[in-house]
Amino acid sequence: MVAKVVICGAGFLGSSVAKLILSTANNAPRRVQLLSRKPSTTQDAISKDLNPTDLERLEKPADADITKPDTLSAAIKDADVVVSLVGIMHGSMEDFERIQWRGAENVARAARDARAKLIHISAIGADTSSNVPYERTKALGEDAVLSLCPDATVIRPSILFGPGDGFFGRFAQLSKVLPVMPVFGGGKSRFQPVYVEDVARLVEIISRRDIALRSAVDGKTIEVGGPDVFSYREIMELVLRYTNRKRPIVSVPYGIGTMQGFFLERLPTNMFTLTRAQVEQLKKDNIVNPATFDRSPPFEDILQKEGYGLHSVHDILPTYLFDV
């Protein structure tokens, strides 16, 4: 019987996960169904990249709302694996709690009731004691997920990159219009950008019916980052290098950034959007904590055992930033 994978969240990572699962025949063909309030756009985009055989296993998307448990139960009831990509980048505290905490909890409850394997995507920096709504509710969502589904696998990525990303791509767009590239606090905070396809591959591997792997990842939290670590300033240098632009990189005090965020977060979301919470996040490193290796198998090891390696930003950025 062909296993069914339901992907809750049809965005940047969700699209990559869906395409990889459908195009990876191996000995484990799987059906995929996207679940969100408006999944049709992503469904159409994914369909363009699939051959007819793979396309047959992409089911009609289901309309569901993670804040409405009844809609989730109906959509997930026959799933073998549920991939939860519940998350937002902007919003009020109530929005973050409703979606990243309670929404994640609703998905986990539906997965439990369906007896499905749950793969929950969180983020490096998740912390219940954080005063940053994004970080705090990501951690509360993790706690709710593991309480309901003790065998769930939680994946915490660093910054995702790849064609269409909202990180390098956004800075590349800003470099078109800004006379300087600002970095807060000297740009010393560190990042470990990870290629979206590498994270999608991890999800694809875990979604297989591999008993040995499941025993290694069930109930575990896996932090994932790429092979390179960069400071915030070095990130700006990479953007300028691969867009072939020259701009001064100017340090801005965190206090000034907080003042900017106070005003910019009140405007409609656009490429200049900055919030006070984001400025606060930039004070912290966003890299893998080596201590997690004692509690779960390293990300790179899982990929290597299946014959895959990690991609450096130097491999991928030149393929798309030049055109941004």
Q: Which domains does the chain show, CATH number per domain? A: 3-160+193-226+286-310 (3.40.50.720)
Residue type, 84: S
The answer to whether the beta carbons of residues 296 and 215 sit under 8 Å apart is no
Hunting for tokens 């769930």 — which residue is that?
152
Q: What is the mean pLDDT of each run of 10 residues along the chain (324 residues)?
A: 84 91 76 83 83 88 87 90 91 92 96 96 95 95 97 96 94 94 94 97 91 89 95 97 96 92 83 87 91 75 92 96 83
Give the 3-state secondary structure percentages of the chain, helix then strand then coil, rounded to 5: 45, 15, 35
Tokens for 128, please give them: 């219940």
DSSP 8-state secondary structure symbol assigned to residue 319: G
From the CB of residue 174, how many other CB atoms can be counted at a distance below 10 Å?
Answer: 16
Which pair of structure tokens corresponds to residue 324?
């941004």
In single-letter form, the type of residue at position 130 comes to: S
Chain-centroid distance of CA 279 in Å reads: 20
Q: What is the dihedral of CA 13, 18, 20, 21, to 10 degrees?
A: 130
φ and ψ of 166, to 5 deg: -100, 15
What three-state secondary structure class fits 195? Answer: strand
Grouping H, G, I as helix, E, B as strand and the rest as coil, residue 94 is: helix
- What is the torsional sign of CA 201, 297, 84, 277? negative
CB 303 within 8 A of CB 155: no
Q: Residue 194: what are its φ and ψ, rounded to 5°?
A: -125, 135
> Dihedral, CA atoms, 46, 12, 94, 223, nearest 10 degrees?
130
The C-alpha atoms of residue 108 and residue 259 are separated, in whole angstroms, by: 38
pLDDT of residue 118: 97
Six token digits for residue 34 = 């996207």
Distance CA 145, CA 197 (A): 24
How far apart CA 227 and CA 184 sit, in angstroms, is 24
Structural tokens at position 25:
């025949």
Predicted pLDDT of residue 137:
97
Phi/psi at 285 (5° precision):
-70, 150
Q: Say if strands 81-84 and 3-8 run parallel, antiparallel, or are unpaired.
A: parallel
